[in-house]
A and B are shown apart, each in its own frame.
Chain A
């Protein structure tokens, strides 16, 4: 894939970077760019926050009544 700029390439590396899927050399390359480029650094930081936020926003606690119903499904000894 041809990239117009290093930032475009860095954008493509964002998800595998956060997922720790890059090879060592790709990771070093991405890291060196992020350290130098405020534009990409902000976007990487945002993506990390976003993942955490999605996790929190979607965490709906289980209703206690359901917990009781599940416990009642246990085999009687």
Chain B
């Protein structure tokens, strides 16, 4: 009667693998929430999105290949769910002018006397203004900033998660950061944004 024994062992191994997978996924929850919170407008929506992501991840645990990038796998579920939730109905046209260069925000702070020769000029900005400015960045650009600058994903990982070419990740990131600075300048020193 070797077969039932083999089956029992297989079931036990699978249960162990699953439990280990779930533990590993749960260990990433702080990082997942940090990203989710900036992808959607409210805390409630972020909490719902994270819960849905975890419910789906636990259900589809067999589709994860052990040893591959679990964090990116999880984040891909989250961004797909976010798209499914209908947030993407109105796509942002990629026509926003980009005349401000990368020195724009510093120059604005300097013009208004807020950038003196001090160490941490950046602290003249308020945390709220940063959060608000980021929420005003069109989502195609914001998603990349959130993944790379807040979630610590590489360009390659962000490309995989968002299913876009790596060149698009880089151009959106570059442009998104400029839009963010422009928004910050508008909010902080009343410049045009």
Q: Are A55 and B149 in contact (CB under 8 A)?
A: yes
Interface string of B80-114 (1 = CB under 8 A from A): 00000000000000000000011101100000000
In this complex, how many residues of chain B approach chain A with their Cβ under 8 Å: the count is: 45
Q: Are A57 and B130 in contact (CB under 8 A)?
A: yes
Q: Are B58 and A50 in contact (CB under 8 A)?
A: no
Min CB–CB distance A77 → chain B (angstroms): 6
Q: What's the dominant secondary structure at chain B's contact region?
A: helix
| A43 vs B47: C-alpha distance when bound (angstroms) | 37
| A74 vs B34: C-alpha distance when bound (angstroms) | 21
| A11 vs B104: C-alpha distance when bound (angstroms) | 10
Question: If the complex has contacts A57-B131, A73-B51, A75-B18, are A46 and B106 also in contact, measured as CB distance less than 8 A?
Answer: yes
Q: Are B130 and A67 in contact (CB under 8 A)?
A: no
Q: Are A70 and B51 in contact (CB under 8 A)?
A: yes
Question: If the complex has contacts A14-B102, A46-B121, A74-B26, are A54 and B50 also in contact, measured as CB distance less than 8 A?
Answer: no
Min CB–CB distance B94 → chain A (angstroms): 18
In this complex, how many residues of chain A approach chain B with their Cβ under 8 Å: the count is: 34
Q: Does A23 contact B (CB under 8 A)?
A: no
User: Which residue in chain A gives the minimum CB-CB distance to B53?
Assistant: A70
User: Which residue in chain B gives the minimum CB-CB distance to A75?
Assistant: B18
A73 partner, pick from B15, B54, B134, beta carbons under 8 A: B54
Q: Does A28 contact B (CB under 8 A)?
A: no
Chain A neighbourhood of B34, CB < 8 A: 58-60, 62
Interface string of A27-46 (1 = CB under 8 A from B): 00000000000000011001
Q: Are A75 and B150 in contact (CB under 8 A)?
A: no
Q: Are A73 and B55 in contact (CB under 8 A)?
A: yes
User: Which residue in chain A gives the minimum CB-CB distance to B29?
Assistant: A70
| A75 vs B20: C-alpha distance when bound (angstroms) | 11
Chain B neighbourhood of A61, CB < 8 A: 30
- A sample of 5 inter-chain contacts (CB < 8 A) reads A47-B102, A57-B127, A67-B29, A73-B58, A77-B19
10 residue pairs, one from A and one from B, having the closest CB atoms? A62-B33, A57-B127, A57-B130, A49-B122, A14-B102, A53-B122, A46-B106, A74-B22, A43-B103, A70-B54
